Structure formats: C-alpha cells, structure tokens
Amino acid sequence: MTIPRSSPCPWRGLSDGQTLDHLGVEECWRLLGSQSFGRLSFSVDDRVQVALTPYVARTSRVFLRAAAFGSVARRVVTRPVTLQIDDLSGDHHATWSVTATGTAHHVDDAATLAALWTPVRPAPWGVGQESLWIELLPDEVHGQRIRD
C-alpha cells in the first residue's frame, strides 16, 4: 500500500511515499535464516513474557537455545509461542519484520541434536549452562517490509 502525501500516516514511522509490503513464506524463511537471535513471546499465568533468544532456522523449523532450568525451557514446551525477528536499519530503506508462531517442544531426537551441536551454532546467552534445544514448529510464518 502506498501512503498518499495528502493523507495522515496511519502507522507511526511510515513516511510519505513508503510502502508496506507483505512478504511471502519463502522470503520469510530466507530472512529467518539470515539472523541468529530474536524475541520469543509466550504466555505465563495469563501474562505475556518476552525473552531474547538465540536460534537457528533449518528446513521450515526453528531451533532455540535455552538454559536447562531457565524460564524459556520450563514454560514454553507444548505452549503456543511466537518468535519475532527484524532488521530496523537506521535509514528505514530496508526495514522488515518476520514472525513465526507455533508450538514448542524439547528436542530429544539424537540425529537432530547431533546436527545442532556443530561448531557453527548460535552462541548461548545469559548466565548458566545453555544445554537445551527447543524446537518451534511454526504453523504460521509471515512478514512485512517497509520500503521507499
């Protein structure tokens, strides 16, 4: 959609002449694969929590690193979760955001774990041993891009 110069902008930060494009699923997965951390949203006791988390996207699946006894590992399994990533460049010429929503579970398949525990993996964050992998099986992936 193009915002005409004569109309007030309905979205803060979108200026005259910029467009908001919806991204296809393939482009969303390409962008998911281009980053290594995002914001994981999940519900605990009727409140939404957001945690920064390292991840890796592979073949329509997202794998998150989590502390074995941390809130993410304890609270997201079998619950709906959403991972959001974005690239908000300072000049606003290539701004995009992608979300992947689905159910999470601990990874216990030996072959999958062997493939994830390679030297090329997201670095752990936070205090403590980051020893768990959690898989997000998205049933919905979508994104948007703002461009001039």
| pLDDT tens-digit readout, 58-113 | 888 999 988 877 778 888 887 889 999 998 766 555 689 999 999 999 999 999 99
Q: Which residue has the higher pLDDT, 45 or 91?
A: 45
Q: Which residues pair with 88 in a beta bridge?
A: none
Note whether residue 15 is domain-resident: no
- pLDDT category of residue 25 using cuts at 50, 70 and 90: very high
The first and second tokens of residue 105, run together, are 């579970």
Note whether residue 19 is domain-resident: no
**Mean pLDDT for the stretch of residues 12-20:** 67
Note whether residue 69 is domain-resident: yes
Note whether residue 16 is domain-resident: no
- pLDDT category of residue 131 using cuts at 50, 70 and 90: confident
Burial bucket for residue 3 (CB in 10 Å: 0-12, 13-18, 19+): middle
Residue type, 123: A
Note whether residue 127 is domain-resident: yes
Query: What's the CA gap between 130 and 108, in Å, rounded?
Result: 15
Whether the pLDDT of residue 16 is over 50: the answer is yes
Q: What is the pTM of this model?
A: 0.79
Structural domain containing residue 59: 25-88+96-141
Note whether residue 8 is domain-resident: no
Q: Which residue has the higher pLDDT, 69 or 42?
A: 42
Note whether residue 51 is domain-resident: yes
Note whether residue 133 is domain-resident: yes
> Based on the structure, what is the number of domains in the chain?
1
Q: What CATH number did the domain enclosing 76 receive?
A: 2.30.110.10
Whether the pLDDT of residue 10 is over 60: the answer is no
